Amino acid sequence: MNVIEYGRNNRPFMWSFEEYLLSQLKPEMEPFHKPNCEDYLGRNFSYLVIEEGGNNYLILLDASDGCGMQPYDESLIAPTLRNIMEKHDVKNYLVFKMQYSKKLTDHYQLKERTFPLGYFPDFPEETYEWKEKTKYYYFAQKEDIDFFWAGSIDYKSQPTLWPSNKSIGLWPINQRRIGFKKIKEIADKHPEWNIVVSDTIKYNRLQYLDLIMRSKVCLDLPGVGYFTTRFFENLILERCILTRRLSLDLPYKLEPNKHYASVNNWDHLEDKMISLMESPLKREEIIKNVKDVGKKLTHAYAYKKMMQKVKKMIDVDTFNKRGWAGHFNASVKQ
């Protein structure tokens, strides 16, 4: 499998995966468009054109925050994509998307050719390295924080074109606002708990990681997208996480109340927090289950699952007789 052409992503949490991907495929050329594809193919997109058996194939990587639930959730520049396909006589293509859901992709243009990539923190290798270096230190330390969350909250934005058939309560930014307000109310109601939360960025990287490791439960609130880098960083660090039930898909299973503690809505948050404080064994069980899924959080696993889809595309012609052009014309806004 040879790389003919590729372009890089503008999102930091995609960079580390791209580095791993390119280390496996070993292209002999520099990226086609530097430094990334934001102004070329569209914000949050990158791509590879590969050759196998005399045919060329396209792999698109999408790091958009939107899952396709609302119009214009992605910013793909269709004419550029068409030019890439025509220039290289592309036979077939696949899209691997970080924020992906089969159920919530009503407005995603290429949904029939899209699969979940997985999700990663900004600097996963640094997180793994820090975890290894400090594992004995935190093994001996007391968890003196009951619940922890820190991040920024957008109090100003409004959804651009929210679909009329979807509740505004599904909008991830609104979910963060509501969730944070609920946590503050619970903190006032339970002074016996040590709840450390902040909606401003006031910790450096090492301080932030230290607070995570000292916490019995790490809270997670959706951000611009449903998946957050915090959630997956907490998984890497093998913490007990409490959040809303995940609504997006991954190339592996994360089960609610098995790999993370979950609520269906924020009205049930206090009851779940009480339950977790009253049951250390439940927290330990969740952490044990997170350790079991640890290998699936890696770039290597994401690459493996991606290549399985790519090889199936190459081995079995799943397109109809129109080929990519007919399918592309029917899928993408001109």
pLDDT digits (tens, 9 = 90+) for 158-200: 877 776 777 777 788 899 999 999 999 999 999 999 999 999 8
Average pLDDT over residues 290-307: 95
Residue 29 has pLDDT above 60, yes or no: yes
Range of the domain at 230: 124-249+255-292
Same domain as 142, residue 77 = no
pLDDT at 321: 44
pLDDT at 288: 97
Better-predicted residue by pLDDT, 297 or 316: 297
pLDDT over 90, % of the chain: 69
State the distance between the two ends of the chain, measured CA to CA, in whole angstroms. Answer: 31
Cβ within 8 Å of residue 276, ≥6 positions away: 216, 217, 240, 242, 261, 282, 283
pLDDT band, residue 307 (cuts 50/70/90): very high
pLDDT band, residue 122 (cuts 50/70/90): confident
pLDDT band, residue 33 (cuts 50/70/90): confident
Cβ within 8 Å of residue 229, ≥6 positions away: 13, 119, 120, 121, 122
pLDDT tens digits along 125-150: 899 999 999 999 998 889 999 999 99
Same domain as 111, residue 62 = yes
Burial tier of 161 (Cβ tally within 10 Å: 0-12, 13-18, 19+): exposed
How many whole angstroms separate alpha carbon 231 and alpha carbon 78? 32
Same domain as 308, residue 262 = no
Better-predicted residue by pLDDT, 110 or 248: 248
Same domain as 130, residue 111 = no
Same domain as 85, residue 218 = no
Same domain as 278, residue 149 = yes
Same domain as 287, residue 149 = yes
Least Cα distance to 41 among 3, 71, 11 occurs for 11
pLDDT at 71: 64
Residue 325 has pLDDT above 80, yes or no: no
Same domain as 241, residue 162 = yes
Same domain as 200, residue 179 = yes
pLDDT band, residue 237 (cuts 50/70/90): very high
Average pLDDT over residues 253-260: 96
Question: How many domains is the chain partitioned into structurally?
Answer: 2
